[in-house]
Amino acid sequence: MKLTLKIWRQKNAKTKGTFVTYKMDNVSPEMAFLEMLDSLNKKLVEEDKDPVAFDHDCREGICGSCGMYINGHPHGPVPAITTCHLSMRYFKEGDTIWIEPWRAKPFPVIKDLIVDRTAFDKIQIAGGFISVNTGAAPEANSILIRKKKSDDAFDSAICIGCGACVAACKNASAMLFVSAKISQFALLPQGRIEAKERVKAMVEKMDEVGFGNCSNTGACEAECPKQIKLTNIARLNREYFKAY
């Protein structure tokens, strides 16, 4: 395939960025999206030009670091996958692909398509933990948990912290991310000990680092690669109100 890439190039958070056009020939439909960018970078290096900086690690849909905005969608136009799992077969001959970084004040651009997501780390550090005794694993049946509760907790815990929810939200809200982290503990008895302190600390840190309020449009759930549900946000609000 022949494709036209419009890629956001920006030296750092303090400099002004712009879209730069690149022409790509012989793109195989079997390529992964990141492999296509690898191919572009190989070409740029051979031409003694600065390669496009983009974040990636596992390339298995686990780490969440590969996030970028592709044709108006976080991680691309295919639902429930990360950028590293996006295949070029979803594009066609002659397509123009617009690629840019997450757009949110708490996610300053490091370079090109890479943003600094340590704001998420700060939120988790503020309260994302439980008090447990270290040592041997406890007997599995010592604390009985209903299957529905454990399933819901697991579904919340699969959030990979990629930031797609923030990128999708018109207010750059981190409510889906924070609510997933709150829910995975709030649903289990082990997490109830620090429940009040946790939700207050994480919400306050979320506001402090500059994320916006929930817009109630549901864009976060629609674009989340792990399909984290909006019901987590409702649970977060209930936990927050109970904490006071």
Nearest to 164 by CA among 70, 86, 89, 235: 70
The one-letter amino acid at 98: W
> Is residue 148 a contact partner of residue 170, using CB atoms and an 8 Å limit?
no
pLDDT computed for residue 134 by the predictor: 73
Domains and CATH numbers, the chain: 3-110 (3.10.20.30), 118-243 (1.10.1060.10)
Q: How confident is the model at residue 130 (pLDDT cuts 50, 70, 90)?
A: confident
pTM assigned to the model: 0.93
Burial class from Cβ neighbours inside 10 Å (0-12, 13-18, 19+) for residue 235 reads: buried
Q: How confident is the model at residue 135 (pLDDT cuts 50, 70, 90)?
A: confident
Edge-first strand listing for the sheet containing 73-74: 18-24, 3-9, 96-100, 69-70, 73-74
Pairing of strands 3-9, 69-70: unpaired
Q: How confident is the model at residue 29 (pLDDT cuts 50, 70, 90)?
A: very high
pLDDT computed for residue 133 by the predictor: 74
pLDDT computed for residue 141 by the predictor: 80
Which residue stretches of the chain are H helix? Answer: 33-46, 118-127, 147-157, 164-168, 175-186, 195-208, 219-223, 231-243
